Amino acid sequence: MANLPEPFLWREPQFSDLEAVAQLEALVFPDPWPQGLFATEVGQPNRFQRVVLAPSGELAAYLFAAWQVDDLHILKVATHPQYQGRGLATALLQAALEEAENKGGRSLTLEVRVSNRRAIELYRRLGYLIAGRRTRYYQDGEDAYVMSRPISRSLLDRFLFR
């Protein structure tokens, strides 16, 4: 099972979490989703979602993903600047990978700004490969890489990426 670093806790998000989610979203993304968009995701079927809480109850990180046929699409992953570099996004992405494996998925996919080196390196370390580029994908005109992580059941794959 994916390991969350201590002393954090995680669970599925509730509507009451979404104000904090939207605040963190606005802090770390130049083109944040509004709270209402997160509200259309919570409680829907065919989703995988986690919020990570610090011992104080403060929101430290979150991940929202949605199944698109047999691909688990990572819609959002973010960590509060105060808690970055402690393995929270890694743990969230590992949990999404386990979800995809357990539900028989074939891949995980996401979009990332071509300038977002840190996120791109994180995804590479976890086995994601650049599968394409979407021109002017973001509102400010920046391109996105499409990164995809095939789900292989081979021992070599498990050795390399777990």
Ligand X SMILES: CC(C)(COP(=O)(O)OP(=O)(O)OC[C@H]1O[C@@H](n2cnc3c(N)ncnc32)[C@H](O)[C@@H]1OP(=O)(O)O)[C@@H](O)C(=O)NCCC(=O)NCCS
Residues at the site binding ligand X, with contacts judged by CB under 6 A: 5, 28-29, 61, 77-79, 84-90, 110, 112, 116, 118-119, 121-122
Nearer to ligand X, 77 or 151 (CB): 77
Alpha-carbon gap, residue 143 to 136, rounded angstroms: 5
* Among the listed residues 81, 106, 102, the one whose alpha carbon sits nearest the alpha carbon of residue 28: 81
Between 43 and 162, name the residue whose CB sits nearer to ligand X. Answer: 162
Q: Is there a catalytic annotation at residue 142?
A: no
Q: Cα separation of 60 and 74, whole Å?
A: 18
CB of 60 to ligand X, least distance (A): 8
Residue tagged active-site, from 101, 111, 137, 142? 111
3-class SS at 54? coil
Q: Mention every residue, 6+ apart, whose C-beta is less than 8 A from residue 78.
A: 24, 25, 28, 29, 61, 62, 89
Q: Please state the closest distance from residue 41 (CB atom) to ligand X, in A.
A: 16
We find the least distance from the C-beta atom of residue 16 to ligand X, in angstroms, to be 22
123 given a catalytic annotation? yes
Catalytic residues: 111, 123
